[in-house]
């Protein structure tokens, strides 16, 4: 069994190296096998190991989703990742989920850039529609800074408090 080394996931990326980040957005069928494996590895590192959350990550929605990842040469796993799910699958609106910034990029602003790019991708693919998310409640203010609005009460998902939030549609 191969596990990621420190240079693959945990070693902080030097600030100068972040200028070399390469963003890729694509549909599931455009992902290479190794690319998909490394995305799943990053998701498991963050959700299962760091957050100690046992749940079925491969939920059947990846095949229908668009995948956005920030890659840095020399790092096996993406530094940041999110998926965009079309409307009518999880919610009536398109949604952004599985949002992660790996430990190597935390504090660099890459998470903010990831959300900005995820919103832009949603707006490009599904114009004039709102965007719904299920955010970890501790990140409500972060998402509010992008214009997301809380929808309802907090709820537990996989033993972590979550809040449903909506980014209203914009005029095209």
Q: CA angle at residue 29 from 23 to 32, to 5 degrees?
A: 60
Residue 153 forms part of a structural domain: yes
Residues 117-138: what's their mean pLDDT? 97
Residues 81-96: what's their mean pLDDT? 97
| Number of domains making up the chain | 1
Residue 35 forms part of a structural domain: yes
Domain that includes residue 38, residue range: 16-167
Q: What letter would DSSP give residue 172?
A: -
Q: What is the pTM of this model?
A: 0.88
Residue 3 forms part of a structural domain: no
Give the list of residues 6+ apart from residue 144 with CB closer than 8 angstroms, or none.
150, 165
Question: How far apart, in whole angstroms, are the C-alpha atoms of residue 159 and residue 118?
Answer: 26
CATH of the domain at 50: 3.40.630.30
Residue 6 forms part of a structural domain: no
Residues 131-147: what's their mean pLDDT? 96
Backbone angles phi, psi at 22, to 5 degrees: -115, 120
Residue 150 forms part of a structural domain: yes
Burial of 32 (0-12, 13-18, 19+ CB in 10 A): exposed
Q: What is the pLDDT of residues 97-127, one digit of tens each?
A: 999 999 889 889 999 999 999 999 999 999 9
DSSP labels, 81-97: EEEEE-TTTSSSS-EEE
Residue 124 forms part of a structural domain: yes
């Amino acid at each position: 069994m191969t596990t990621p080394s420190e240079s693959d996931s945990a070693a902080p990326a030097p600030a100068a190296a972040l200028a070399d980040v390469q963003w890729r957005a694509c549909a599931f069928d455009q992902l290479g096998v190794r690319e998909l494996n490394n995305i799943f590895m990053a998701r498991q590192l963050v959700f299962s190991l760091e957050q100690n959350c046992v749940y079925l990550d491969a939920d059947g929605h990846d095949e229908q989703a668009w995948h956005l990842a920030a890659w840095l040469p020399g790092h096996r796993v993406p530094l940041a990742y999110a998926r965009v799910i079309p409307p009518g699958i999880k919610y009536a609106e398109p949604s952004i989920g599985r949002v992660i910034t790996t430990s190597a990029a935390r504090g660099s602003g890459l998470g903010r850039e990831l959300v900005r790019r995820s919103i832009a991708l949603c707006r490009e693919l599904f114009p004039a529609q709102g965007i719904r998310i299920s955010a970890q409640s501790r990140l409500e203010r972060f998402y509010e800074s992008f214009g997301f609005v809380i929808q309802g009460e907090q709820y537990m998902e996989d033993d972590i408090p979550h809040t449903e939030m909506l980014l209203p549609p914009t005029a095209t």
